[in-house]
Amino acid sequence: MASVTSLSTAWSILTELDTRPLRELVQAPFPVAILSREQADRQWLADALRTDPFTGQLTPLSPQITLHQLPLGKNDALWVAQARLVFIPVATGREDLAQEEQAIARLLHLNAHLPIVVVQIRPGAGKEFYTPMLNVWMGAREIVVDPEEEEPFSAEFTPVLKILVPEQEIQLGFHFPAFRPTLAKQLVRQTSMTNATYAATTGLAELVPALLIPGNMADFIVLTKNQGLMAYKIALLMGNDVAMQEMIGELAGVLGGGFLWRETARRLVGFIPGWGIIPKVAVAYAGTYIIGEATYYWYAYHKRLSAEQMRAMYARAMAEGKQKAAEIIAAMKRKRAGRKESAPRKKRTPPKFRKKNPPPRQQSNPQ
């Protein structure tokens, strides 16, 4: 079993992380504008974005979110053009879209890099083929949402936002509760893959004597830091403005078992000969995944996962981790093989042989 020292070392590593930039990120202004000609359309979108997906209740509307009537006045247009994100909800079936087109052209003239999303509100869209209202929105992106779905934004909305406002998932989740499930689960899987890839890299390095490193402690530090940052990002995007130390104190009981299992499995992989790289990579993936899921579950429902849930989740994560490990290692080997094939071969020059000087002639003594 993992020792108490191992767990205390993990927590000390986490407390040394500088997470101030992440916290300042969610505390910084993030102005968002919702504009439409129909008050009911923009109100539906605002309410849908601030609905808590776990309780179904409306959270307070962020002061950073403003609603605007189309057509825009001069002052409103100047303010909206400085927003971080603009939504234009449009009910399906409207044929005259001139006001929406004019607003988009005007805003992009004021700010060519302004992210604008046209939201087509279409009941029953989840069961139908996607049909755009306009093929070209002059620089804006269009998506379709189904107001009859429990999570209308998970399938299409979030990927578009990740393109328009990249690296801003934490702010999106912090300000918009509707995005939290999708963003949190994506973060868990991404970090799990990152740790698995790292474990594969160090595992392959340990097979090469020239690259031999003290992998156990180095791996522990890197994997723990990644897991800690992941947990802190989940806490923030789930709407919690907390410091890293506060989160650690809150999650100590929730994550203790996750760290314990990961540490135990890591030691087994490190000391049992013949297990190879795949179990090590699978453990890195599964350990990270279960810590992320436990953190997400806590902030979503304010409950701890039961021991049965943790065991079942860990078993599934290990099976998935082994599959991911095989894929990662195969891809790394193909990449290495490709580099060797593409490397120019050095021409071998035949060895030069020096001519040996003939031995001096022996002169015969005259008789």
pLDDT digit string (tens) for 251-303? 877 766 555 555 555 554 554 454 578 888 888 898 889 889 999 999 999 99
At 322-364, the pLDDT tens digits run 999 999 989 988 888 877 666 666 666 665 655 556 556 655 5
The predicted structure's pLDDT at residue 68: 96
Is the pLDDT score of 35 beyond 90?
yes
- Burial status of residue 7 (CB atoms within 10 A of its CB: 0-12, 13-18, 19 or more): middle
Both tokens assigned to 41:
């359309």
- The pairing of beta strand 85-91 with beta strand 32-36: parallel
Is the pLDDT score of 44 beyond 80?
yes
- Check: CB of residue 91 under 8 Å from CB of residue 41: yes
Where does the pLDDT of residue 187 fall: very low under 50, low under 70, confident under 90, or very high at 90 and above?
Answer: very high
The predicted structure's pLDDT at residue 263: 53
Domains and CATH numbers, the chain: 4-20+180-339 (no CATH), 31-83+85-167 (3.40.50.300)
| pTM, rounded to two decimals | 0.80
Which residue intervals of 155-214 are DSSP H helices? 157-164, 169-175, 180-205
Check whether the bond before 71 is cis (ω within 30° of 0).
Answer: yes
Is the pLDDT score of 209 beyond 50?
no
Where does the pLDDT of residue 17 fall: very low under 50, low under 70, confident under 90, or very high at 90 and above?
Answer: confident
